[in-house]
Structure 1
Amino acid sequence: MEQDKKILIVDDSKMSRVILKKLFEEEYEILEAEDGRVALDILEEEYHSIAVVLLDNIMPEMNGIDVLRKIAGKYKYHNIPVVMITAETSERLGIEVYRLGIADLISKPFNQELVKRRVQNIIELYDYRCELEWTIAEQINEIEEQSRKLRRSNQFFIDTLSTAVEFRSSESGEHISRIRNVTQLLLEALGQQEAQYRFNSDMIEIISNAAAMHDIGKIAIPDAILNKPGRLTPEEFELMKSHTTRGCEILEKLSSVQLEEYYRFSYDICRYHHERWDGNGYPDHLKGSDIPIWAQVVSVADVYDALVSKRVYKPAFSHQTAVDMILNGECGVFNPMLMNILRLIAPQLEKFYAGNALPADEPFEFR
């Protein structure tokens, strides 16, 4: 007898139940129901051990079609095959039962040996399908775990490089964390307001993490320029601007050790986060929607953080001053849509950033 495996026979005819029982009782434990309602009660209790349901259609209390509808509506029954064995053989019935997911339709009167073989084949097929589904689920779990490990490894790689840039530029070490958070806030609010930019949570996480690489090219900028307290000369500023393209060169050389999705977003953000909506940014003077939206978002996050943070060349400005400067175009022209988003999340930004700041009293040189 199959270990713990049962066959449920549902038929109002005792003779039919007896015949079917004799076919399978040596290999399976047999459960019997004389109408559909009793069958559903048995299924509720025994569904985990039932190998197949042999179901008549014409029954007084609840017919086979109604039983099938109930079974089809319960996800936990989806791996229990149902074979309808009935004297009714209309085309309409065949279409209906197969639409409801029946495994086989056998007409009465039937050849006993043929029924036994067909039912056994169906049980084996469904057992194989369950085993295959379990194997696939295990493989998916393993792949997802490997993906999580790769992402963690990739994030450690990003954090290490980004932290190196922060220390070289005498920043607090928290800039990268803040950029991630502000980028996430902007992306979430953008998706709520603009359907075409409704990124899923995974994509928002990837873009926010990729934002950490926005200034990686500053590794190639001399310390004397990177940490100069005063304003940069035109020549020094041109060299400072090259951190966008130098950063992309670094990312290209490291592309083989980065996940492709991170590399793509990191590259765009690194190259284009100083572009401006009116084309007056750098390095490529892109204009409007030619600038990738994720680079535009990081650009706003970066400017806001630079304004409210103390740097060697500037004081920290207050939250409201920083927002006003961005909205008034003092740091370049941004996407009007993103300016609406900035207004929307301004209270959240103010709560996120702590500490007192000084008012702006001189033009801002954004590096």
Structure 2
Amino acid sequence: MDQNSEIVSKQVILIVDDTPDNISLLSGLLKEQYKIKIATSGVKALQIAAQQPAPDLILLDVMMPEMDGYETCRRLKSDLLTVDIPVIFLTAKNQAQDEEKGLLLGAVDYISKPISPSIVMARVATQLNLIRVQHLLRNQNKYLESLVQDRTSKLGKMQDAIIMAMASLGEVRDNETANHICRTQNYVMVLARQLSQHPRFKQELSNENIELLFKSAPLHDIGKVGIPDKILLKQGKLTADEFEIMKQHTSYGRETILSLERYLGESNNFLRFAREITYSHHEKWDGSGYPEGLTGDAIPISARLMAVADVYDALITEREYEPAFEHQTAINIMRDARSSHFDPDVLDAFLQMADKFDMIARSFREPLLKSSGSGATHETSSYAN
């Protein structure tokens, strides 16, 4: 099969259930979008999962004779051939301890029966979107490594282009543009250079690390590929429940980078910065951010820089339903958030370099009014109110 055929081929889902009616329901629901494989026992599921090409996702019933779903999952996760295949449990066992047990065994999700078709479709799409991103990142590194010895300069440019393409997966779904990526990565670089001689940041912000920060910054919202369109593209303010789902993009982004690190069997500063930025750029200095509510220096430096860059760009960017703030107004809003949202030293460096931020924004100005998803709404509205 050629490369183009692989790109357009359907992803494979293995349905494991000993009840024919359940298999019929799930396969009927999913067969138009995905290629379906069937197993009626845990033993058969292990055999199919170990065959190449392996399934992209496994929907696994818990209550089966001989080998239940929990034992099947444990064996899948103990085999190098199947350890990385994501597993979603489908079961009528809906106690908290049942879900906890499944997740501790390595499952990525847990859906209660009787199933809701819309929930199954959404959860499946989320996991398979993450897999697509992970495969793209893995293929990128394989390709780059094969040529690194004799094409260093050309590969450097190719790497940058592929990183931008990966970043665009998240931004395009949020109706963002490449200009947003270019602006924020340049903001981060300017800010890092300004702080590179500061006693608190000097060790971390070497010239080499600043270059890696510049390259990793575009990946900050890559986890948005896992957010449903009805939430990501909603016009206006999200409900509390919708916002909780939106916040998961930080975890999806981190998991994408962690998956790549596991595949490579190692990490490096580029992947570390990418992981820190994707996961922690919505943390706030006073602990009121997410996903972990980190405070102060517990927030990675890379994420503190990205927080300033991302908020400034959200404030000065025009939305279909929300006008842009003038540069000076954005400066004043962010100054008021010193020591609450932002590391005070990082914010002070930003204030010193505000004119350069304005120049970058003008250099990569949006040519036309554009619509954006709700991610930016929650950045700007929290300051405007």
TM-score normalised over the length of structure 2: 0.52
2:242 pairs, out of 212, 218, 236, with 236
1:206 pairs, out of 199, 204, 212, with 212
Question: Structure 1: how far apart are the matches of 2:169 and 2:158?
Answer: 17
- Give 1:152 shift: 4.0
Runs of at least 5 residues in structure 1 that lack an aligned partner in the other structure: 1-141
1:218-297 equivalences in 2 (<5 Å): 218-255=224-261, 256=263, 260-297=268-305
Question: Structure 2: how far apart are the matches of 1:214 and 1:340?
Answer: 23
CA separation of 1:321/1:291 partners in 2, compared to 1, >3 Å: closer, same or farther?
same
Does residue 193 of structure 2 align to residue 188 of structure 1? Answer: yes
Runs of at least 5 residues in structure 2 that lack an aligned partner in the other structure: 1-146, 370-377
* 2:360 alignment partner in structure 1: 352
- Deviation by residue 1:132-175 (Cα, 9 ceiling, x = unmatched): xxxxxxxxxx9776665654444333211111222111112211
- Determine if contact 1:331/1:364 at 8 Å carries over to the other structure: no
CA separation of 1:143/1:171 partners in 2, compared to 1, >3 Å: closer, same or farther?
closer
- Give 1:260 shift: 2.6
- Deviation by residue 1:67-119 (Cα, 9 ceiling, x = unmatched): xxxxxxxxxxxxxxxxxxxxxxxxxxxxxxxxxxxxxxxxxxxxxxxxxxxxx
* 1:13 alignment partner in structure 2: none
Does residue 172 of structure 2 align to residue 163 of structure 1? Answer: no
1:1-367 equivalences in 2 (<5 Å): 148=153, 151-194=156-199, 196-197=201-202, 199-255=205-261, 256=263, 260-329=268-337, 333-354=341-362, 364-365=380-381
Letter in 2 for 1:364: T
Identical-pair percentage: 35
Letter in 2 for 1:326: M
CA separation of 1:229/1:201 partners in 2, compared to 1, >3 Å: closer, same or farther?
same
Three-state SS of the structure 2 residue aligned to 1:296 is helix
- Determine if contact 1:325/1:331 at 8 Å carries over to the other structure: no
CA separation of 1:167/1:194 partners in 2, compared to 1, >3 Å: closer, same or farther?
same
RMSD (CA atoms):
3.1
Three-state SS of the structure 2 residue aligned to 1:353 is helix
- Determine if contact 2:209/2:269 at 8 Å carries over to the other structure: no
- Determine if contact 2:222/2:253 at 8 Å carries over to the other structure: yes
Report how many aligned residue pairs link the two structures.
223
TM-score normalised over the length of structure 1: 0.55
Q: Highest CA radius of gyration, 1 or 2?
A: 1
- Deviation by residue 1:244-294 (Cα, 9 ceiling, x = unmatched): 001111222233469732211100111110111111110011100011111
Question: Structure 2: how far apart are the matches of 1:251 and 1:312?
Answer: 32
- Give 1:241 shift: 0.7
Return the structure number with greater relative CO, CA threshold 8 A, min gap 6.
2
- Give 1:315 shift: 2.0
CA separation of 1:292/1:195 partners in 2, compared to 1, >3 Å: closer, same or farther?
closer
